[in-house]
Chains A and B, each alone.
Chain A
Amino acid sequence: MIEVDNLVKHYRAGDGSVVRAVDGISLAVGPGEMVGLLGANGAGKTTTLRVLATLLAPTAGTARVAGCDVIRDPLGARRRLGYVSATTGVPDRLTAREIMRSYGRLHGMGEGDLDRRIDRLVGVLDLANFADRPAGRLSSGQRQRVSLARALIHDPPTLVLDEPTNALDVVGARDLFGLLESLRAEGRAILLSTHRLHEIERRCDRFVIIHGGRVAGQGTAAELIGPHGSLEQAFFAAIGAGAAP
């Protein structure tokens, strides 16, 4: 469903130097699978996810979303991808229903389809209590739910989430992962980035650790933890940062 093969993305910095944000990353996420992309700030997580979301063009390598190459068929990839970012970018003056409707129209959805889809998402994502309240008056957790609803409005088979729990408290993060687990159970492929390891240790099927734009390790939690005792220790070992205190 999500395939990244030897992906490279270089930027030219303001001083003319080349920044190798992603330098040969390969990973795959199958249907009904949730994969965690782990890395410190600047490791290349966001760049990798943005290439998948067709927001950035790769310098080399390939990325496919539900079989659609992000360069050869960006429209196909966009139709099959839901994207959630840490900064929800939810317009303050619109309600959750209005936000879903606006973004659904960007997919060319008709009003009948939209009504049915919005009602469905309000039920599944438990938005009923605040669906008609302006987003500016919602909590961080509620705004992230609205952001997830916006990403799912066109019923995409794949979901990419860039540090979705950054602005959430413990309860909000737990609720969000509960929703993601139900979406995984429906057969969606989910790739999410985070640096809050404890939150996802038991949630994801597999993990990919990236460091300096390269894959520093990948596998299931059990495979990665091995002799290290915890995912956090395994992460530090993989990126060569020494053991946690």
Chain B
Amino acid sequence: MSVPDVNRADSDATPLVAAVRSTLAVAAFQLRRLLSWQRLVMAALGAIFPAAVMLAVRRTARLGLDDDLAVLMLYALVPEAVCMLGLLVTMCPVVADELERGTWVHVAVRPGGRRALLLGTYLAAVAWTGAVALLAMLLSLAVMPLPNPLRVAGIFTGLVAISVFGRAALFSLPAVIMPKRALVASVAAALVVEYLAGFLPAVVNQATVSLRLRSLLVAWMTWRQRLPVEMQLLVDPQPPWVQIAAVAALVTVLLTAAAVILEFRQFPPSDEI
């Protein structure tokens, strides 16, 4: 090895290229970590679970299941339940896992390491949960035939994408603020923000992913005209591009806040397990 030059930068890449490389490196690393047989079994169960519920309902419904009700069930099971559960196990431990494994210090001493850890884990959580949710949706459609299944599959692909991008960003905040209680805090955030504030017919629900998802479902399924008046309070009348832009803005704000908080987080040596 040559005598090190104190002024040598560790990379000749531009800051943006270096940031992309480091984020993708963490994403690849986290995806590889997820490819354990335990995680694959969990993912398989997550993918089968909605189809099993749909099959059970179909068999027990004597007069057959209304198509709209079947779509609503699919919505509750896939973009809501599967996505939420998948993100709880993939996004919440972003910092806690590193503290437990003793790798936090080795990531945090790299320039941009903390940001790369957050964004790389975010991408891995989105990709993993999104893939499981899409598989769950396809299996559900296979056991519960609906008219125009390709259109329904397209709509739900969009809903799954928006759910995982939005909710992973939401869970990133409790994960960096209270890493050791991230799971509990994220469940609380999901209940309070998504399912309490999200259903309040007030301005506060504008900052939730659940409002955007419901509004997109109604718009894309062309249900608006048939929606009862009281139910119209629970969806936003703006066009789909506004809903998508709102989620994009929410994701940007949440991830930026999480990255800033993580950059300044200090963990005394005793915090490492």
Contact = CB atoms under 8 A, between A and B. Distances in A.
B3 A91 contact: no
A75 interface: yes
B59 interface: no
B268 interface: yes
Nearest to A160: B109
Interface string B1-18: 111111011111101011
Interface in A60-76: 66-67, 75
Most buried by A among B12, B19, B24, B105: B105
B6 A108 contact: no
B226 interface: no
A52 B139 CA distance: 53
A53 interface: yes
Contact of A78 (B109, B116, B264, B268): B109
Most A CB contacts (10 A, CB to CB) among B4, B9, B29, B101 go to B4
Given A56-B266, A75-B111, A107-B111, A89 B11 contact: no
A186 B110 contact: no
Interface in B98-141: 101-113, 116
Question: Which of B6, B21, B102, B116: most chain A CB closer than 10 A?
Answer: B6
Nearest to A106: B110
A105 B109 contact: no
Nearest to A57: B266
Nearest to A11: B268
A15 interface: no
A105 B6 contact: no
Contacts of A78: 109-111, 113
A175 interface: no
A110 B102 contact: no
Contacts, number: 127
Interface stretch (A148-156, A200-208, A217-225, A227-235): A148-156
Interface in A17-50: 21, 46-47, 50
A108 B11 contact: yes
Contacts of B12: 110, 113
A156 B111 CA distance: 12
B178 interface: no
Contact of A157 (B5, B26, B28, B109): B5
B57 interface: no
A46 B269 contact: yes
B17 A108 contact: yes
Given A106-B110, A186-B2, A88 B8 contact: no
15 contacts: A11-B268, A55-B105, A55-B267, A75-B111, A78-B111, A91-B33, A102-B28, A103-B110, A106-B107, A106-B113, A108-B13, A108-B15, A109-B21, A155-B4, A186-B3
Interface of B: 1-6, 8-13, 15, 17-19, 21-22, 24-26, 28-29, 32-33, 101-113, 116, 264, 266-269, 272
Interface of A: 1, 11, 21, 46-47, 50, 53-57, 66-67, 75, 78-81, 83, 85, 87-89, 91, 93-94, 102-103, 105-110, 113, 120, 124, 150, 152, 154-157, 183, 186-188
Q: Which 10 A-B pairs have the closest CB atoms?
A: A108-B18, A105-B25, A89-B102, A154-B10, A108-B11, A157-B4, A106-B110, A87-B102, A89-B103, A107-B10
